[in-house]
């Protein structure tokens, strides 16, 4: 087995095609998950103010209707208010769920198209039971590559927690400054919450892109061939170069002999006619 330092020849198209058919290509599940989260919460971020305005309008109209009925018909007013609220909730839920599911579908298809070769799917769970064994390739647990990936995960977690804590402190500040049950405060709290979630998803996506680039480089380096492997593949595809050269020389000799034979027959015919 050759070492990784000797792999200097770029992989051929047939080698890449064979690896793709076997399911070995660069793929990052973190990129798919973060892209789906970002698109979903971006949709919620866009529709949050509109949906909150509709819900607050429903609540205000229900409270106004109850106030018009007065305290004597309070039970009737409460029933009508609940009926109006629950009657309007399905439409609001549809307006939320529909765009989110559509964005999840489109994002998943786009990520699969970007990362996977045509007609190839990624197996979520490995088929070999040896890969589930904690002692499988235990030496890799103490390698520099594993330590670097662990530090990468720790940095990503710290960035996510930092962004989340900043958003949480903003929410706490908004709660401390304004009334608890005011609609204006709810608008601002929802805006801060959706902005925080959007920023968290953006941080996760940034680290996922870095992870995807690293996986792509690692995969490309592993697909490189040694000079001997390149020669073997060329010989398997086109045959032994020595045999091809010998066959080419034989064709040249045969061609020259046929040319000389045709010239000799032509000159003999000319002499016979004279």
Residue 158 pLDDT: 80
Per-residue pLDDT of the chain (274 residues; tens, 9 = 90+): 444 457 777 777 777 777 766 666 676 777 777 778 778 777 777 776 677 667 666 666 666 655 555 545 555 445 555 666 666 667 767 777 777 788 878 887 787 777 766 444 444 434 454 454 555 555 555 567 666 766 777 787 788 778 877 877 776 676 555 544 444 556 666 667 777 777 887 888 888 888 888 888 888 887 787 777 777 777 776 666 677 777 777 777 888 788 877 776 777 766 666 5
* HSE (side-chain half, CA atoms, 13 Å) at 134: 0
* Cβ proximity of 200 and 163 under 8 Å: yes
Cα–Cα distance for residue pair 127/227, rounded to 1 Å: 32
CA 244 from centre of chain: 46
Residue by residue, DSSP assigns 21-89 as HTT-S---HHHHHHHHHHHHHHHHHHHHHHHHHHHHHHHHHHHHHHHHHTTTTHHHHHHHHHHHHHHHH
Between the CA of residue 74 and those of 66, 67, 69, 135, 222, what are the distances in Å? 7, 9, 7, 69, 74
Cα–Cα distance for residue pair 174/186, rounded to 1 Å: 10
Which residue in 105, 212, 240, 80 sits closest to 152, CA to CA?
Answer: 212
Question: Buried b vs exposed e over 81-103: b needs ≥16 C-beta within 10 Å?
Answer: beeeeeebeeebeeeeeebbeeb
**pTM value?**
0.48
Residue 34 pLDDT: 76
| CB atoms closer than 10 angstroms to residue 200 | 21
Residue 49 pLDDT: 66
Residue 66 pLDDT: 55
Residue 270 pLDDT: 67
């Amino acid at each position: 087995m050759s070492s990784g330092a000797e792999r200097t020849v770029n992989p051929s198209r047939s080698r890449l095609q064979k690896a793709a058919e076997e399911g070995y290509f660069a793929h990052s599940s973190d990129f798919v998950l973060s892209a789906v989260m970002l698109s979903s919460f971006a949709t919620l971020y866009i529709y949050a103010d509109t949906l909150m305005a509709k819900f607050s309008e429903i609540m205000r109209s229900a409270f106004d209707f109850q106030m018009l009925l007065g305290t004597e018909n309070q039970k009737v007013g409460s029933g009508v208010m609940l009926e109006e609220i629950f009657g309007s909730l399905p439409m609001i839920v549809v307006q939320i769920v529909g765009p989110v599911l559509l964005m999840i579908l489109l994002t998943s298809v786009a990520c699969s198209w970007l990362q996977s070769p045509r007609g190839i799917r990624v197996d979520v769970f490995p088929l070999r039971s040896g890969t589930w064994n904690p002692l499988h390739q235990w030496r890799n647990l103490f390698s520099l590559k594993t330590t670097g990936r662990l530090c990468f995960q720790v940095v990503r977690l710290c960035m996510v927690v930092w962004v989340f804590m900043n958003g949480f402190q903003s929410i706490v500040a908004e709660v401390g400054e304004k009334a608890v049950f005011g609609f204006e405060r709810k608008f601002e709290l929802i805006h801060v919450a959706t902005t925080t979630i959007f920023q968290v998803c953006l941080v996760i996506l940034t680290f996922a892109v870095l992870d995807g680039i690293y996986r792509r480089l690692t995969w490309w380096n592993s697909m490189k061939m040694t000079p001997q492997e390149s020669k073997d593949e060329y010989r398997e595809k086109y045959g032994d170069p020595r045999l091809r050269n010998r066959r080419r020389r034989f064709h040249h000799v045969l061609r020259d002999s046929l040319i000389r034979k045709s010239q000799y027959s032509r000159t003999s015919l000319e002499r016979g006619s004279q």
